[in-house]
A = this chain, B = another copy of it.
């Protein structure tokens, strides 16, 4: 199918239909569960793609940096959560954003609140970052003394409004088609409920914000949750397939890579497409192999994953090494393109900085 696309170097293809279906399904699920849907835009990082979300009723978003917040504010998004512990060194960006959008920040210590109170002219809302078991950032319910100090600090400020508790249960990514995701979700709900029980009397409008793609894709109950913030679901990827968040048919991006060499003696195909395109993210597949991507078959309109796909066994800066199937080895020629489904679509998109839709339309992303 790629002949008409005029591709000469590694190119990130985007299947708009699959992508829109992913957005629609998650928006629909949020509606069904009466959850505010605040998708994380760090995965696609594109103003144009972000506009597709408006077709499904989205008007509040999540980003991972203040630069990304400015980029999306420039495209008319007015309610933005920066789901990363606030970086108080970025004073100018913080001030500028607070004055032009509803800016929701994440904090987990009073030092950040002191700094914000001092530097801001306009009000912001503050989520207290909550650790529900991932142990990367955030406070647990046992740290109520520190939480209270933060709440009191906000009370004393005219610019800092307490928004609620926000968590990212990143350990759901350790799931593999088993109970892990459900356990992580249950644990997160439990932690959030403890905080709600303790603080809802004092803050009746406080929100509970959760949201990683595995739990948002697979769980069916969200008691006590007010909003979800999944990001990766917009494209999905092999990691999500192995977790059980989606099927391979949901993966909406594929990297088209030129074949530059063939080594039939070791049944390997060398691609122009390496760590600077796919990232060095790896994952263990159900066969127990460490892989850097699967090779999908081209179809009339896109790609499809074979039952026993060829896989990328290693990556260097620009090379990808495919362990090919005998049939693929037979038919592949130097100068062909192969379609690689990524292990981690967020990282691949971040590196590629541009999409090409199957209709040949180029879609821009945030650059520098």
Interface string of A30-58 (1 = CB under 8 A from B): 00000000000010000000000000000
Q: Judge whether B347 and A87 touch: CB under 8 Å.
A: no
Can you name the residue of chain B whose Cβ is closest to the Cβ of A314?
A: B136
A134–B89 CA distance with the chains assembled, in angstroms: 45
Asked if A260 meets B368 with Cβ closer than 8 Å, knowing A317-B64, A321-B136, the reply is no
Q: Are B260 and A86 in contact (CB under 8 A)?
A: yes
- Cβ-neighbour of A8 out of B90, B112, B316 (below 8 A): B90
Compute how far the CA of A30 lies from the CA of B333 in the bound complex, rounded to whole angstroms: 39
Measured CB to CB, the nearest residue on chain B to A89 is B8
Number of copies: 2
Q: A7-B89, A136-B319 are in contact. Are A272 and B84 (CB under 8 A)?
A: yes
A335-358 residues with Cβ-Cβ distance < 8 A to B are 335, 337, 346-347, 350-351, 353-354
Taking a contact as CB atoms under 8 Å apart, the answer to whether A109 and B258 are in contact is: no
- Report the bound CA distance from A319 to B353 in whole Å: 20
- Name A289-347 residues within 8 Å CB distance of B: 314, 316-319, 321, 333-335, 337, 346-347
Q: Report the nearest B residue to A337, measured CB to CB.
A: B89
Which chain A residues numbered 244 to 280 have a C-beta less than 8 Å away from chain B? 258, 260-263, 266, 270, 272, 275-276, 279-280
Residues of A in contact (CB 8 Å), total 58
Q: Is A217 an interface residue (CB 8 A)?
A: no
A117 at the interface (CB under 8 A from B): no
Residues of B within 8 A of A67 (CB): 9
Task: Choose from B316, B335, B353 the contact partner of A170 (Cβ within 8 Å).
Answer: B316
Whether A335 lies near B89 (C-beta < 8 A) is: yes
Given contacts A136-B321, A137-B261, whether A334 and B276 have CB atoms under 8 Å apart is: no
Inter-chain CA distance A260–B115, complex, in Å, is: 12
Q: Which among B260, B337, B347, B367 is the interface contact of A280 at CB below 8 angstroms?
A: B347
Chain B residue nearest to A110 in the complex (CB): B334
Chain B residue numbers with a CB within 8 Å of A129 are: 261
Question: Are A91 and B280 in contact, CB atoms less than 8 angstroms apart?
Answer: no
**Distance (Å) between the CB of A331 and the closest chain B CB?**
14
| Nearest chain B CB to A136 CB, angstrom units | 6
A265 to chain B, nearest CB (A): 9
Q: Considering only CB atoms, which chain B residue lies closest to A262 in the complex?
A: B109
A339 CB to nearest chain B CB (Å): 15
Residue of B whose beta carbon sits closest to that of A6: B89
Contact flag A258-B136 (CB < 8 Å), given A279-B279, A335-B111, A347-B317: no
CB of A88 within 8 Å of the partner chain: yes
Query: Which residues of A60-116 have CB atoms within 8 Å of chain B's CB atoms?
Result: 64-65, 67, 84-93, 108-109, 111-112, 115
- Residue pairs across A and B with Cβ atoms less than 8 A apart, 18 shown, are A7-B89, A8-B89, A8-B91, A64-B317, A87-B258, A87-B260, A89-B258, A89-B335, A109-B262, A109-B334, A112-B260, A115-B334, A136-B270, A137-B263, A137-B270, A170-B316, A275-B279, A275-B347
Q: A residues touching B (Cβ–Cβ < 8 Å)?
A: 7-9, 42, 64-65, 67, 84-93, 108-109, 111-112, 115, 129, 135-137, 170, 258, 260-263, 266, 270, 272, 275-276, 279-281, 314, 316-319, 321, 333-335, 337, 346-347, 350-351, 353-354, 367-368
